[in-house]
Every structure is written in C-alpha cells, then in structure tokens.
Chains A and B, each alone.
Chain A
C-alpha cells in the first residue's frame, strides 16, 4: 500500500500493480473503509483497477492529517485475506439477438465459435466491476473469457445505442447512454445503467459482481427494452 499526494487537496492510494481479482478485492475493501471512516473530510473517492483517488476538504484536514487518517483506517489491509463477503451481486438481463448484437457475427468469425457458443461463454462468466469512467455509469467489467476476446473496432461507431453490451479484448461493458464507441456489441440490456431520478443513481459500483442473464426478445420488450434506438 502506497499513499501519494497529488495536489493540495488530492491524494492517491495504490494497492497493487496488476489487474486481478485480489487487487480489486483490496480496492473494494479500502473504498468501503475510507467512505465509512473518513466521511467528515471526503469530497470525492474514485476507485479504479489498482488505486483509489481521494479528494479531501482542505478546510477540515491537511496533507499530514489525511495520510494519518488513511493509514489508520486501512491498517488491517495487509493481514486481511481477500474474501468477497462485501461484494454486491448484480444480475443484468441481456437480449443477445442478432438485431441488437451488432457485432456478434464478427465475434463469432473472429473466435471460430458459433454465435450460440459465444453467447453461452459470455453469459456463463461472473464478472467484476473494476472501474467506472469514460462516461457516467460506464462500468469496465472483467474478465471476458479469452476464447471470445476481441479487440475494439478499428473505426468506432459514431452512435452506440443505449444499453449495448460490448467486448474489448478481455473487458466487457454496457453503454449507459448513446455515445460514440468502438467496442464489439454482443447484446443489449433493457435496464437503465444510470437514472439520476432514483436514489440508487447507478446500477453498478466498483467492486460489484455481475452476471448476465440471457433473455428472449419478448422478455426484453416486456422489461422496457428498445430495439430501434440509435
């Protein structure tokens, strides 16, 4: 564990170097501890794959204070074995039909597997939310099975429909809003990834575990899914 000062009211906590489950577990644990123990001085906490950025209120604490408080709050981190008791489980229904799985044929060709096999492999994996960024609610999930991994499109789409589920190398993610993007689209969820009008705001947070549940076209429409949105 390493704490570094970034500017007059920001520091960053590094909890490992490689992207893996163990480090993600530590990030999740540290983020929860920091939120609970340092509430009075926090402005923003930004967890990512291997780090946690902490923006604090300089009116309440200085650089010495924040380091001391962080060390105190995280003192148990090395002795703690990486359990997953705290991770939330999120189940996301996904329609993998060809009309919304815009790149399923390409992934199938790239992998040498049938579309059905690609979908089966994708939906059998339990994923972990490693980071959220790029746009509000855009969650980077890992790890996609190597057999169906595929690089981003060489020319990104100008508009990826809201709710599209994509693959980029060994990562997978859902587009929370209609934005440009280069991920290979494999399906679409009827769920809203972000909704600023509800208390939960976002469907996923860093550290969550995620499973995709294949649904039919009918179920997709029943759940409010939109086929034609672009």
Chain B
C-alpha cells in the first residue's frame, strides 16, 4: 500500500538518515536537513531512527492515502490539511484509505517531515534512500529524482492507533531570530581577531541562495589571510568563507572536499535550525566549545534511545 502523489510540490524528497561510508568516493551524505524534526517524527511513531520519511520543502505537496495508517508531522508548519481540515505539526494523525493530505505554503519554517508507521519502504542505493538530485542517487526509484506526480510511496499498512505529540519544550519556534554556535576549527587561525569579532558581533541575513548544498548568508564580510587552501574534507555545518567574505554554511548535499578557507563549523542540531530559515531571516553567531556541542548531542541522542 502507498501514498499516491497527486502534486509533488516544490521539492519533496524521500530521506533517511543519510548515505554514510561513501564520502571517500566523493558521494555526499544527503539526509534530513533538520535532524531534530526528523528524529522526533520517527520517535513519535516508534519507528527505527533511520526509517525513511518525506522532507517537504516549502509545500504545495498533495497526497492520497491508499491504505489506513498513522503519520507523524514535524518541522515546519506548511499549512497542512487532512481532508481539508488544518493539521499542526509535532504530533501524530490517523489516516484512512482515500484521505487527502495537502501542504500549501510556509507559516513557520521551511521544511516539514512526514513519517508513516514503519517508515516508507524505498529502493536503496549504497545503503540509503536519501535523495541527492545532483548525484542521481536515492529517492523513490533510486535515480535521485524528487517526487513527481503519480509516484507511489509504499508503506506497510498497520491497524494501529497512535496518539502522540512532541512535548512543548522540544518544539522550536522557527520564526524567532536564530543564534547558532560556531565551533572554531579548520583555518580559523588565518582569520585575524578583528575579523572573528566581526563575525560574532553582527547579524547575518539568509540570502536567496540557499539549497540543500549550502546556505549563503549576507552581512559584514570577513576575510582570512588565505586565498585558498589545499582541498580537504568538509564536515556538515562547516562555514566556508569565499573571497567576497560572505559566509556559506555547508549543508547535507555539500561536496565532500573543497578548497575555500573555513572559519569553523556548526553543530548538526544548529545547522538543522538554520535549515528551517528562509531568505531574509536573521542569524547571528557565537563561539561554542566543541564540548558543549558534544554534550548537547549526547543528551539529544539519549532521549531517542529509549
């Protein structure tokens, strides 16, 4: 049984936790842009942490259920409706055969996650169904394509009634100005102190140039003493500073190696919050010790291990 895609929307992608273990061949990880929302969606349904979900960017997606099941909706509020009735994210819903689920446009945040009990049963490529358009890997047919009209998203029907919701304290407000921690690293020593103070004192704006590869920000430029570097591996959340001094945060579909100087890196959880911001949103940076990022992630992971 499956969901039938009536309208694929702007960018709706099948994602699991990513394609790991192939970056040495130049294959990027893909995976959910917002790991927090992704983890909660699977957790609400009692799914495996890696179970495949839909990442719905911006909205306009329309699905019809061909069997009864339960779904979880987390992440952005894209003005979703179940048979015409508004449904809010961060909780589960019972869906019956013939039901229509529709997303229109963002009210808060940019990317919604839709999980189904047991996860979608996808085709995997290199051990993952994570959709990476540029590489032609993952997705419904394994060819890296985004959802298209007429696609079927298969799942195992379950006669199960789940009524679960994410506690209030774990629900972020994506409309709030964002402050993200920078773990200084890579070439940070090539940035004069005054440049780092610039990075940490002002605010940056999310530009129009944002996608699953990177988030280009605009604000006071910062410069390192280096023009380029010997190409090296790029971590998720790394902050690249090209010659124009405008930071680019590298996201899930980033290239695996690159030769621009980098000032440091965001934690995956902070990068996920950035991924919910659209053009014009405000972002500021503060220095973060790697120990804090590690502790936050361990606490986060611990919650989902029970």
Contacts and interface: CB of A to CB of B under 8 A. Distances in A.
Contact of B237 (A7, A42, A63, A201): A7
B166 to A, nearest CB: 22
Interface in B96-149: 125-126, 134-137
B24 A136 contact: no
B231 A49 contact: yes
B25 A49 contact: no
A51 to B, nearest CB: 4
Interface stretch (B68-76, B200-208, B252-260): B252-260
User: What is the interface residue range for chain B against chain A?
Assistant: 35 or more
A150 interface: no
A79 B27 CA distance: 33
Given A63-B291, A132-B26, A202-B25, A48 B185 contact: no
A133 B257 contact: yes
Contact of A136 (B135, B235, B294, B296): B135
Most buried by B among A6, A31, A52: A6
A48 B135 CA distance: 20
Contact of B294 (A55, A63, A134, A205): A63
Interface string A83-108: 00000000000000000000000000
A4 B189 CA distance: 12
A50 B265 CA distance: 20
A50 B230 contact: yes
B233 A137 contact: no
Nearest to B289: A5
Contacts of B24: 31, 44-47, 132, 205-206
Contacts of A10: 235-236, 265
Contacts of A202: 25
B293 interface: yes
Contacts of B296: 8
B267 interface: yes
B237 A137 contact: no
Interface in B228-267: 230-238, 255-258, 265-267
B270 to A, nearest CB: 10
A194 interface: yes
User: What is the interface residue range for chain A against chain B?
Assistant: 35 or more
A122 B256 CA distance: 28
B226 to A, nearest CB: 12
A55 to B, nearest CB: 7
B28 to A, nearest CB: 8
A55 B186 CA distance: 15
A133 B236 contact: no
A132 B233 CA distance: 10
Given A58-B298, A62-B294, A136-B25, A48 B266 contact: no
Contacts of A7: 183, 185, 235-237, 265-268, 290, 293
Contact of B301 (A47, A51, A58): A58
A8 B27 contact: no
B21 interface: yes
A138 interface: yes
A12 B236 contact: no
A59 B230 contact: no
A48 B294 contact: no
B176 interface: no
Most buried by A among B25, B232, B267, B296: B25
Given A12-B232, A63-B294, A136 B26 contact: yes
B186 to A, nearest CB: 7
B25 A137 contact: yes
Nearest to B237: A7
A140 B25 CA distance: 12
A4 B185 contact: yes
A74 B272 CA distance: 34
A195 to B, nearest CB: 11
Contacts of B231: 48-49, 131, 133, 140
B186 A136 contact: no
Closest 7 CB pairs of A and B: A53-B233, A46-B233, A133-B257, A8-B293, A10-B235, A7-B265, A8-B294
Interface of B: 20-27, 29, 125-126, 134-137, 183, 185-186, 230-238, 255-258, 265-268, 290-291, 293-294, 296-298, 301, 305
25 contacts: A5-B290, A7-B185, A7-B266, A7-B268, A8-B267, A8-B268, A10-B235, A10-B236, A12-B235, A17-B230, A31-B24, A44-B29, A48-B232, A48-B233, A48-B257, A55-B23, A63-B294, A132-B257, A133-B256, A136-B135, A137-B25, A137-B26, A196-B125, A201-B126, A205-B25
Interface of A: 4-10, 12, 17, 19, 31, 42-53, 55, 58-59, 62-63, 131-138, 140, 177, 194, 196, 201-202, 205-206
